[in-house]
Chains A and B, each alone.
Chain A
């Protein structure tokens, strides 16, 4: 397999590389001056993130753009990371050879998926300014950094180098850089603002790389910083063998001819994922190939037959051979909580919901869909929502309309979830941003430009499902907000306006201020609850205040229950009213009597959480009279939680069936249930952290 890249590179060599570059610059992302700059930044950042990920380093990336000559559009790009660095002898290979790179042939999720990468930047710089790209690389085992200027011999597809040497890499604080890579490149390019800009690219990158710390100094000298929001590195991505469903004839043929396996059964089991020894035998039977046959010696007809068996076209006993799905641990989803943190970091808003679907397989390729939605103030309400598209953590910034991810968004009728959408089609309007991330070992793009994902009915459906579920969360949020606004109005009415009317009327008439309780009871006629959940900067705790008002003419008795993130590792402190644990994540207080006009307040704090982890406490009640601002406790749901809890305590794996989640979730109580039951993150099952905090 190691020979592939070289062979492909040597094939390319036959065309003059510069001509190839010139002809294909739109595929390579260098077709316009603004885009060339974004592409250059993108290649540099992708390299840094990949290198850090492989070396298990938390990335710190600095990008600086300087205008050298405004009239001639000459720009200098400087990119610096804290990655492992590149050994001196490999620098020219990495920077000076097209299609080099270990990423090209290994089947696993990676950012670039092709080796054109940074070499393209080196070539572009050389072609547009005649300048070489300056590289400074420091690896941990050496004391000094290697420096070299890299250019490209376009005929030989080889690096040309000059100015080689070593130097001490001193940091602004006087210490020496431990490890990292710095690239300084001069190119003809244009810096632009807006939706397709370096700023937007870095902002999007920071959303899906919450473990990265990114700093950007723009040509005006302004510094933009997107801090790291998690110390957790993305899971190490495992390489997997190809799955029979995703193989092409040519690849199969090549694999066979290169194989040294003695017999087909062994070959199939060793080189493919999802093939058990039973399946290997069945595939061979279906393809009418002998089990003992030597892979090397297979005939052309055999390849085709085998491929047909792979794809279920040739059957055994009228049934396609059953294959296991490929393993999905090769994918590295961002995961809900981190998307949420990433989104909140770059867009200051009030409601965020995210959803990571379980990994699944299409055409033999494992993939996983993640979506996020942020809604609220600070975004234009009358414009289309911002669509943030990502493939394997790489922002997609062009060709939005032709992309599968956009089509999935457009296929949802967002009107039912509270966004404007003309005719229930197209990108909805509203103060929101929708994020869609596809992680896959083999992302299919519409073209080499790698800016839009190609249609695939299964993937669209998967994205749609995720969006629908997220949409339900949004609708619930909006409904709740509306309810809360109504309650707030009532409070303002009886606490502020009615007393003001009474006082003013009494003052004008020169009479005593009358007693208000009668009027207030008549106006409200209900028991009302209110919960506030706020982050306390001083104590680093989340403070919760719950108030219950009896605005009726009779004494009432209730059990009041509140949700809290027990499973996320929170501890309840300073709960002076006591109460008791009702179930996992549900606390209860019993109130024997709440007199007419009486108000009761409960306060407690939650420790063990970070800011933004828990922003919304849900209230429930048991009792005959409705409580505005709380939901009637669903006892069945409570049972379910207890059952799950017991199951979880009894064995390692949590109970296999999901809590009440009939896919409809129209009842707010059912929805609360799924929140309370949310599995801890990073399990493979479907997770529903919907509304896991959101409002503040």
Chain B
């Protein structure tokens, strides 16, 4: 298993390279610049070696010839300095805290939180380091997890704690921290056959109440909508280190398809670290477009936004394979979408007694 993290020295060196680019330009009598990959759908491509989608070769240069981009460069320098200070002091901060700290940066202060989030991502992309290397934490919390699996987490006193995610936790499960790298989390042992990632809290709780994790020997992971980085990262680690299949159980709508794409192939915004976050072996379990008809699920009409999203997905390289093209086109034809919890039409146990066993049997997991 390769490590996603860099050492403090590696991180600093990478950040210094960004600063050097600006410094050297000034010495040469040119406007300072910052060069970074273009971060849009048009610049991601499949990396067959890694099995995930990564940024392509398109690069853009931000130069200090306009006030706006010059301020961006100055902010980047302040952020670099701030990160170095945190590394040296052994601290971390949230992105939001950094935004407020920038109040003291004078000309280099951020005018919106969006700006500071984007800049942190810019620096990740340029330096190939991770946010965790920069000691920057997101606001969003990680997932919840339940099942017979055991891991070690280093708590804030620096002590390792052994936690079984079935026996040592309450009904809400084990809370995944923002940093799930090896310095923080070690995966010890398990007695499960697969991991199931679930979109909604309602469905997660339904499966727990019905004892699905024990009956089918699986780990359940609550994604909380579009999954946070740490959620995707721990899924990836469990899948690789324990060699477990990952199945993904989402609503049946265009936005769920996108969630799956970011889990399996990598998200466009984080394509620079796709190899650390994406789980290429993950399988989409449902709700599929054909489930809506096959199970005669209560459904809603697609909105125009839904239709536009589906059409955009047809041209997204991550959905290029025939199965996805068929699913997307089928949903467009049906003009319908359905939620996970619509399965309750047939009773509270239908999902655990009938639907999931049938779907898992197709995959050879039940």
Contact = CB atoms under 8 A, between A and B. Distances in A.
Contact of A522 (B30, B66, B106): B30
19 contacts: A493-B64, A496-B107, A497-B64, A498-B32, A500-B74, A505-B23, A508-B19, A508-B77, A508-B80, A508-B84, A509-B20, A514-B27, A517-B29, A518-B29, A519-B25, A522-B29, A522-B31, A522-B65, A523-B64
A227 B19 CA distance: 59
A376 B28 CA distance: 44
Interface of A: 489-490, 492-493, 496-498, 500-502, 504-509, 511, 514, 516-519, 521-523
A496 B25 CA distance: 18
The majority secondary structure among interface residues of chain B is helix
Contacts of B28: 518
B359 interface: no
A505 B32 contact: yes
A26 B305 CA distance: 55
B67 A505 contact: no
B176 interface: no
A511 B66 CA distance: 26
B77 A505 contact: yes
Contact of A501 (B29, B64, B106): B64
B73 to A, nearest CB: 6
Nearest to B15: A508
Interface of B: 16, 19-20, 22-23, 25-32, 64-67, 70-71, 73-74, 77-78, 80-81, 84, 106-108
Name which of A497, A509, A522 has the most chain B CB atoms within 10 A of its CB.
A497
B77 A518 contact: no
A497 B74 contact: yes
A519 B32 CA distance: 8
A396 B107 CA distance: 50
B318 to A, nearest CB: 38
Given A500-B108, A505-B19, A508-B81, A516 B31 contact: no
Contacts of B32: 498, 501-502, 505, 519
Given A493-B66, A508-B80, A509-B19, A501 B27 contact: no
A502 B108 CA distance: 13
A495 B66 CA distance: 13
In the A-B complex, the 9 residue pairs with the smallest Cβ-Cβ separation, listed nearest first, are A518-B29, A504-B77, A489-B67, A505-B23, A497-B70, A514-B26, A514-B27, A493-B67, A508-B19
Contacts of A507: 81
A505 B108 contact: no
A523 B69 CA distance: 12
A497 B107 contact: yes
Nearest to A491: B67
A498 B16 contact: no
Given A509-B20, A509-B23, A501 B74 contact: yes
Contacts of A498: 26, 31-32, 64, 70
B335 to A, nearest CB: 36
Contacts of A504: 74, 77-78, 81, 108
B80 A493 contact: no
Given A514-B23, A519-B25, A501 B77 contact: yes
B16 A508 contact: yes
Nearest to B16: A509
Q: Chain A CB within 10 Å — which of B65, B71, B74 has the most? A: B74
A514 B29 CA distance: 9
B78 to A, nearest CB: 7
Contacts of A511: 23
A501 B67 CA distance: 12
A464 B65 CA distance: 44
A505 to B, nearest CB: 4
B81 A501 contact: no
A517 B16 CA distance: 24
Nearest to B84: A508
B15 to A, nearest CB: 8
A498 B67 CA distance: 10
Nearest to A497: B70
A297 B16 CA distance: 109
A523 B29 CA distance: 10
Contacts of A490: 67
A500 B78 CA distance: 10
A449 B26 CA distance: 73
A507 B108 CA distance: 15
Contacts of A493: 64, 66-67, 70
Contacts of A518: 26, 28-30
A503 to B, nearest CB: 9
Given A505-B32, A508-B80, A518-B30, A497 B25 contact: no
Given A500-B106, A509-B20, A523-B64, 16 more contacts: A489-B67, A492-B67, A497-B64, A498-B31, A501-B26, A501-B74, A502-B32, A505-B32, A505-B77, A506-B23, A509-B16, A509-B19, A514-B27, A518-B26, A519-B25, A522-B31
